[in-house]
Every structure is written in structure tokens, then in C-alpha cells.
Structure 1
Amino acid sequence: MDKKNLIGKSVLIVEDDPKIRGLLRIYLQKDGYEVIEAQDGIEGRKMIERYDPCIVILDLMLPGMSGEELCRWIREELKSMMPIIMLTAKATERDRVEGFRLGADDYVVKPFSPAELMGRINAVLRRTASRCGKLSFTGFILKPARGEAWIDGNELALTSFEFKLLHLLMQHPNHVMTREQLLDGIYEKNERDVTDRTIDVHIKHLRQKIKEQTEKEYIQTVRGMGYRFVAV
């Protein structure tokens, strides 16, 4: 599997058993996914509102707010089509039918094979690829199709140039991009009438807007080379 293509794909695990969460985290991170965790349904709801994950792995027997209730909230109140894989000890045909009726995309019974679950996650994400056409890094979410950038649930007010610049940097996390590369990614060769230093001005404005929302340093300057987006 090409891990490079999976960078930015976030998975929320809503599971009260820390051993199961830990096992899933190992397999998911090995395949390049960003992992978000919640130990009950209430925390799971908060994580969904904050991070808008690509897919949810949802235990049904949860304290506080059951998996069924959380699934119903996602589909009926949030009105989201985010993929949901139910992970549960409930194994009867009736339980499975009810899970799909609530809006689950797949249903996996405990005990389960982690390798099989990974295959199901990949299959569901392939079917729903258009829904997760975004880049996500620990609360920093970019939605190219909508032209939106969010940090911890707060939308950034970006100019068109700033958005394109951020998009280019986030497409190559932890890699240095020169000013020339960034300009080439934003302009057609015959349309360019700006200097490389134009990038510096827009980076400064972009950093200021990010700083208003978080103390994390997402954009680093690499002296003598250019800039990089740090996937913290």
C-alpha cells in the first residue's frame, strides 16, 4: 500500500476498551492513517464535531451514549454521510440488520481479525473517496472542493492565493517546497508576473491567520530553501 496516498486520511476509533483501541491504532498508523480516539459516545461526538474524520470505527456498547445513538446522531442530526464501520460483540442477524438500518456502511463482529478490518476500512474509503476529498492533520482540515480551511472547528478566512498556497504545502507534508515550486503550482508559466518574494508576504499573512487559532507552528521556514508544512 502506498502510504503517501493515505497521508491526511483520519480515522476515529470510538471504543471503551483501551486494548482494542491500542491494537487498532498500531495497524492504522502502520498504514499511514491519522488516528483519533474516543473512549465513549459523548467524547466520540465531540471528536466528530472537531475533526470531521474520514471514517468512524464505532463500538456499539459504549458508556454515556451508545454506538447506536451516536450513529443515529451522525445520520439524522448531523446529516453526514461519513463512513461508519460498527465493531461489536452483537452477532445476531437481527443486530446486523439494525446496524445497517441505522446507517452503518459495514459491520464487524468481535473478536475480529485486525488485518480483515483494515481491508474493510480501505474498501469503504475507496467507495466513499469523494466524501473524504480533504487533507487532515490533527485538527487542521483543508477541503479543496469547498475552498475551506478549518483549525479545531474554526474556519480560516483565507484569500484565494493563501488557500492555494496552503493546499500546495499540505499536499506535501514535512517536505520542503521552494518559492519557485510554490509559484509554479499556483500560476501558469505564462501568467506569472510576480517575484519569488511574493510567497514570503503571503506566508506571513497565512501564519498570522493560523496563529489566531492555534499556537502550533504548522508552517516552517527552511533557510536557503523554502517552506514546509509540518504535520504535527
Structure 2
Amino acid sequence: MAKILVIEDEQMMLKALEFRLKKDGHQVLVASNGKEAMTTIESNQLDLILTDIMLPFASGLEIINYSKNILNRPTAIIILSAVGLEKTVLEAFELGADDFITKPFSPNELSVRVKKILLRTKS
């Protein structure tokens, strides 16, 4: 069972992601803004972070940088965003993101990508 942090400020999306990931057998923590997310990242050993780019208090890019470069954690990160701007996507990958899913997406696609990343990071 993987420990996953979902960071999303849109409550309906947050609940849907949490429900799907729990259904897939994961332990799920949630945060609805960047500040809350950073506190959770600091105090937990996570297997995966799913984060939106546009968030209150700290952006998804700041969260990637905080986890990967400031705390130096090996945690896998998947970006979820309707903002498909190439510059933003490239910056996310440069900071250490492992995957990018454009909203809207299917719950099945999310499950497959999460499973694939967790398999890759466990080996």
C-alpha cells in the first residue's frame, strides 16, 4: 500500500481523487493549499505526491521544488493541471516532476499512471 498526498484546491476534484486512490488500496492524505501540503510533506514519508499547479499560498511548482530540492526527498510527483502550458510543464519536469496529467482525465488513466510510477520507484 502506497502513501499518497493529493494536493488540490477544488474540493470536488480532491474528493474524487481521494476516493479513487483509496479504492485502489492506497493510504491517502489530502491538502487543499500549498502551505498545508508543505507541512504534510515535511512530516510524512510519502511514496507519491499528486499536485495541481495552481494552488493558494504555494504553487505546484513550489511544492515540487520544496520536496525534491529543499527536503531532497525521492518522492515521485505527478502534476495534475488544466494548464497545459509547455513552459510550465517543462519547468515542472526540470524541478523533478515524474509525470504530467492534463485535466480532465479519466479515473482509469490516473490509476494506471499511479501504479506505473509506484512500480518504477519501488524497484
TM range, smaller chain:
over 0.9
In the alignment, the residues of structure 1 paired with residue 73 and residue 19 of structure 2 have an alpha-carbon distance, to the nearest angstrom, of: 27
Residue aligning to 1:19 = 12
In the alignment, the residues of structure 2 paired with residue 75 and residue 35 of structure 1 have an alpha-carbon distance, to the nearest angstrom, of: 20
Residue aligning to 2:58 = 65
In the alignment, the residues of structure 2 paired with residue 69 and residue 49 of structure 1 have an alpha-carbon distance, to the nearest angstrom, of: 14
For 2:90, give the aligned amino acid. V
Q: 1:114 aligns with which of 107, 114, 119?
A: 107
In the alignment, the residues of structure 2 paired with residue 88 and residue 107 of structure 1 have an alpha-carbon distance, to the nearest angstrom, of: 8
Residue aligning to 2:121 = 128
For residues 53-99 of structure 1, give each alpha carbon's deviation from its aligned partner in whole angstroms, at most 9, with x where no partner exists. Answer: 11000111000111111111111110111000001111133332222
Unaligned runs of 5+ in 1: 1-5, 131-232
Which 4+ residue blocks in structure 1 deviate beyond 6 angstroms?
none
In the alignment, the residues of structure 2 paired with residue 53 and residue 29 of structure 1 have an alpha-carbon distance, to the nearest angstrom, of: 15
TM-score using structure 1 length:
0.51
For residues 27-50 of structure 1, give each alpha carbon's deviation from its aligned partner in whole angstroms, at most 9, with x where no partner exists. Answer: 111111111000001100111122
Q: Which has the higher helix share?
A: 2
In the alignment, the residues of structure 2 paired with residue 129 and residue 114 of structure 1 have an alpha-carbon distance, to the nearest angstrom, of: 22
Q: 2:73 aligns with which of 80, 86, 96?
A: 80
Q: CA RMSD in A?
A: 1.1
Which has the bigger relative contact order, CA under 8 A and spacing at least 6? Answer: 2
In the alignment, the residues of structure 2 paired with residue 23 and residue 96 of structure 1 have an alpha-carbon distance, to the nearest angstrom, of: 23
Counterparts of residues 1-232 of structure 1 (less than 5 Å): 6=1, 9-130=2-123
Larger Rg: 1
Unaligned runs of 5+ in 2: none
Q: 1:111: how far off? A: 0.9
In the alignment, the residues of structure 2 paired with residue 20 and residue 44 of structure 1 have an alpha-carbon distance, to the nearest angstrom, of: 16
TM-score using structure 2 length:
0.94
**What number of residue pairs does the alignment pair up?**
123
